Amino acid sequence: MKLLFKRFAAAPLPALVFGLAGLIPFMGLPLLAFEASAGERQMALAALLGYGAVIVSFVGALQWAYAVRDLATGYSAWRRYGLSVLPALLGWLSLQMSVGSGLRLQAGVFVLVLLLERTWLLAAVVLPEWFSALRLLLTLLAASCLYVASFGALS
């Protein structure tokens, strides 16, 4: 735990502030949904679904940026650019589903991309340790909020 806080301390303040601010809809909309009437609940969860699709696309865009920066070619380019587009496509697909299913899909996409990054994609990409720690925290919190909120769509 101490190491994690040390990594966060090395992060630029704007990255911390804006990264954590990006969690506000992930945390606030489910809270609003669970306290709201049925109609308001559906509006809050639909807003969460829309926000999740946007942020899932953003996560994919990170992969595109890494590939461009590294001048990826050959098989690596196909793999990296392919992964960069996959979250946006799955985010769009989540908008075509029921709210509960769409939220669960988005939660899974966040975790899947994180796992792919940590296993084979970022093995060749050098990023600061603070970024990896912040990315882990933001991903796990966002995915957890989406997953928990998906059950609110059932009631």
pLDDT digits (tens, 9 = 90+) for 33-59: 988 888 899 999 999 999 999 999 999
pLDDT recorded at residue 39: 86
Token representation of residue 88: 């946006």
End-to-end CA distance of the chain: 37
Closest CA to 21 of 141, 150, 122: 141
Confidence class for position 129, pLDDT limits 50, 70, 90: confident
Query: How many Cα neighbours within 13 Å face the side chain of 69?
Result: 11
Task: Report the number of distinct structural domains present in the chain.
Answer: 1
| 17 within a domain of the structure (yes/no) | yes
Range of the domain at 97: 13-152
At 7, is the secondary structure helix, strand, or coil?
helix
| 88 within a domain of the structure (yes/no) | yes
pTM above 0.75, yes or no: yes
| 61 within a domain of the structure (yes/no) | yes
Token representation of residue 63: 């992969």
Q: What is the DSSP string of 35-54?
A: HS-HHHHHHHHHHHHHHHHH
| 2 within a domain of the structure (yes/no) | no
| 4 within a domain of the structure (yes/no) | no
| 50 within a domain of the structure (yes/no) | yes
Instruction: Please determine, for residue 9, whether its predicted confidence score (pLDDT) is greater than 90.
Output: no
